[in-house]
Amino acid sequence: MHRVALALALVATDAFVRPTARMPSPSGLRAEVAEGLTAEDVSKLTSSVETVFPVEEVQKILPHRYPFALVDKVVAYVPGKSAVGIKCVTFNEPQFTGHFPDRPIMPGVMQIEALAQLAGVVCLQMEGAEPGAVFFFAGVDGVKWKRPVVPGDTLVMEVEITNWKAKFGIAKATGRAYVDGNLAVEVKQMTFALAK
């Protein structure tokens, strides 16, 4: 699971392309990219990563909608156990008008919510969860933020369901999210309650 998350996170890293002294002309763009690495080369780095659930499928599973839909796609999924998902962070998101106008940073609570939504993709397909059901966030413990998440980042998230009590509709999960191969946030435990 960690390998998929790290491989995807590395795609967005600035280590792949170094700025040149001047802006190249469109015809010279390919030659100006550092050490011959092109956009096509960088794009191919994730060619072996298949999308398990595109955004349309995620929307069939989760009830969240704009501006609070925080899982763009799922790229790894083990039913009832775990998932790896992607959140592309863009400047067009409404929270950046106020958090913060001169230095936009994705609020930490939204990073946790994104992980919770990814856990919801797993939980809402488990035994005891009916189609269209809603899981409520019931608790979060052991959160550590390691770096800011900003527009232009690709948040590569992984969650693992650690406990599921179908009789009571209670799930527990852990989660981590990476940017550029570096840990951005980790959660020791999230608790969810299935709405009855």
CA 196/CA 182 separation, integer angstroms: 38
Instruction: Give the catalytic positions in this structure.
Output: 99
The predicted pLDDT at position 54 comes to: 98
Place of tokens 């856990």: 119
- What tens-digit pLDDT sequence spans the chain (196 residues)? 555 544 454 444 433 333 333 444 444 554 455 578 899 998 998 899 999 999 999 999 999 999 999 999 999 999 999 999 999 999 999 999 999 999 999 999 999 999 999 999 999 999 888 877 899 999 999 999 999 999 999 999 999 999 999 999 999 999 999 999 999 999 999 999 998 7
Q: Are 193 and 138 in contact (CB under 8 A)?
A: yes
Q: Output the six-digit token pair for 82.
A: 């775990």
The predicted pLDDT at position 132 comes to: 73
Q: How many CB atoms lie within 10 A of CB 123?
A: 25
- Which pTM value belongs to this model? 0.83
